[in-house]
Amino acid sequence: MELIDILLLFFTFLFLLWWWRFCSATTHKGSKNLPPGPPGWPIVGNLFQVILQRRHFIYVIRDLRKIYGPIFTMQMGQRTLIIVTSADLIHEALIQRGPLFASRPKDSPIRLIFSKGKCAINSAEYGPLWRSLRRNFVTEMISPLRIKQCSWIRKWAMEGHMRRIEEEARDKGFVEVMSNCRLTICSILICLCFGAKITEGRIKSIESILKDVMLVTLPKLPDFLPVLTPLFQKQVREAKKLRKKQVELVAPLIRSRKEYVESNGKLENDEMVSPVGAAYVDSLFELEVPSRGRLGEEELVTLVSEIISAGTDTSATAVEWALLHLVMEQKIQERLYSEIVECVGKNGEVLERHVEKMAYLGAVIKETFRRHPPSHFVLSHAATSETELGGYRIPKDASVEFYTAWLSENPEMWEDPNEFRPERFLNGDGVDVDITGTKGVKMMPFGVGRRICPAWTLGVLHINMLLAKMVLAFKWLPIPNSPPDPTETFAFTVVMKNPLKALIVPRSIYPS
């Protein structure tokens, strides 16, 4: 090693040390009385300890919970993560002291490419912008009246879904559940957002690009060590290219809807099927948000994209996991089938008002969410000001991560938690579950408190309808010599590593 190399190394080390101290001083104002946590290395904290384990972050957390219990700290480079795992502390933070823990941490530079100025419901900090966006979404897209008005969109999409799976079974001999459910749910959400029925090809392009956006925005090294950002310029360039593609795909739909709205519905446009005022984006054209005024096209692209992304994978994943259990445990499928037949008849049509009455269907879906929560954490939260939780200090700019998967795995709260047993929600340890967490948290697939998923009833409606229609029309069976594989993998939501493929036999020809 030459002298110059040694000097360079020395000054780099000094610089990093100075930078670390500077960051610690400005971001943490001293790390006194943070929750305990694994001892870290200088400068990088626990970051490389996690990376070197070469397994998903949630497995690391699963093990650390056993050592550090209900609340602990991980110093991931420059970011402080406070991990909260106990039901009591989650309830205290998100319900009893809800407003204090309702904010979001700073976004990474790559995430900011996809939501300029954090102008999206999921990423906006707790404050007037978030309130205005969320209130508009709730009144314009998911009020009970709007959900009822738009039931024809779900009817149209589900008829297409049933035709498609029948054709797929004829052509391939089996049905791939996830891809079909994603396509159907995505087409419903696109129609709710733009009031437009578009071709399957365009739906698939939007769906695929939004999936890429979700993957590209997952945390990367520079999110924890911003000093490394210059080394990741290629990723930043690729993210910008992806954003450009997303805008090119989504903005034309916004423009044609705008023209249609401005013509008061008189413009000839075969794609536009919802009356003026009934699509989510119509409300965004008019919306004035605090300290920004009217929203620009880029912001509209972000706001509709977040809805399509947030509602597609979460619901499709749940249908896939539920069907996995129905395929593997035919008794459960037959009990569900009997309930559906009892309600609508063998040759009847499942309507939205029917599924609300199907108690066993509800139990199957709740058990699916308990056993396979779509995500193991809710989105990252942050405190609006420095506070304390469980006797420890929570700095304002720490990311507060609620590890919710543990709630539904905890043997102190659930009998045989690894078993799939829908009956527990009819007459067992699930009867008292309040999914909104107001009374206490036992499982929380949608989060709880101020940031609870605003559209969870719509998501559950999609899952209810898909499952009830698919089970009434077909018996679902495993493929001989190729049984379903329940191994999990992480693709934003927790999905099946090998997507579920199943045989379907029309009920009309299946001997019962």
Q: Point out which residues bind ligand HEM (CB under 6 A).
A: 121-122, 134, 189, 306-307, 310-311, 314-315, 318, 374-375, 378-379, 445-447, 451, 453-456, 458-460
Distances (CA, A) of 466 to 27, 262, 469, 471: 47, 35, 5, 9
Tell how far CA 446 is from the center of its chain: 9
> Which residue lies nearer to ligand HEM by CB, 113 or 452?
452
Pair 118, 299: CB distance under 8 Å: no
- Rounded CA-CA distance 84/70 in Å is 6
Q: Collapsing DSSP states into helix, strand and coil, what is residue 75?
A: strand
> Which residue lies nearer to ligand HEM by CB, 28 or 371?
371
CB of 53 to ligand HEM, least distance (A): 25
- Rounded CA-CA distance 266/259 in Å is 10
> Which residue lies nearer to ligand HEM by CB, 310 or 413?
310
Pair 371, 408: CB distance under 8 Å: yes
CB of 111 to ligand HEM, least distance (A): 14
> Which residue lies nearer to ligand HEM by CB, 28 or 325?
325
> Which residue lies nearer to ligand HEM by CB, 46 or 464?
464
* Phi, psi for residue 351 in degrees, rounded to 5: -110, 165
CB of 387 to ligand HEM, least distance (A): 17
Token pair listed for 284? 């965004």
- E-strand ranges in 335-484 read 387-389, 392-394, 399-402, 474-477
> Which residue lies nearer to ligand HEM by CB, 358 or 453?
453
> Which residue lies nearer to ligand HEM by CB, 35 or 459?
459
CB of 365 to ligand HEM, least distance (A): 9
- Rounded CA-CA distance 213/30 in Å is 36
Distances (CA, A) of 496 to 333, 359, 420, 499, 500: 20, 26, 16, 5, 7
Give the position of tokens 């020809």.
509
Residue 337 parent element (H or E): helix 330-344
Question: Known binder of ligand: residue 453?
Answer: yes
Q: Collapsing DSSP states into helix, strand and coil, what is residue 406?
A: helix
CB of 123 to ligand HEM, least distance (A): 7
* Phi, psi for residue 226 in degrees, rounded to 5: -55, -25
Exposed (0-12), middle (13-18) or buried (19+): which is 412, by Cβ within 10 Å? Answer: exposed
Angle at 204 between CA 164 and CA 320, to 5 degrees: 60
Q: Collapsing DSSP states into helix, strand and coil, what is residue 415?
A: coil
> Which residue lies nearer to ligand HEM by CB, 340 or 460?
460
CB of 404 to ligand HEM, least distance (A): 8
CB of 419 to ligand HEM, least distance (A): 21
| Residue environment code for 74-107, b if the CB has 16+ CB neighbours within 10 A, otherwise e | bbbbbbbbbbbbbbebbbbbbbeebebbbbbbbb
> Which residue lies nearer to ligand HEM by CB, 181 or 472?
181
Tell how far CA 435 is from the center of its chain: 16
CB of 85 to ligand HEM, least distance (A): 15
Question: What one-letter code names the amino acid at 454?
Answer: P
> Which residue lies nearer to ligand HEM by CB, 456 or 476?
456
Q: What is the DSSP string of 3-38?
A: HHHHHHHHHHHHHHHHHHHHHIIIIIS--TTPPP--
Which residues line the annotated binding site?
A: 453
Which residues line the annotated binding site for heme?
A: 453
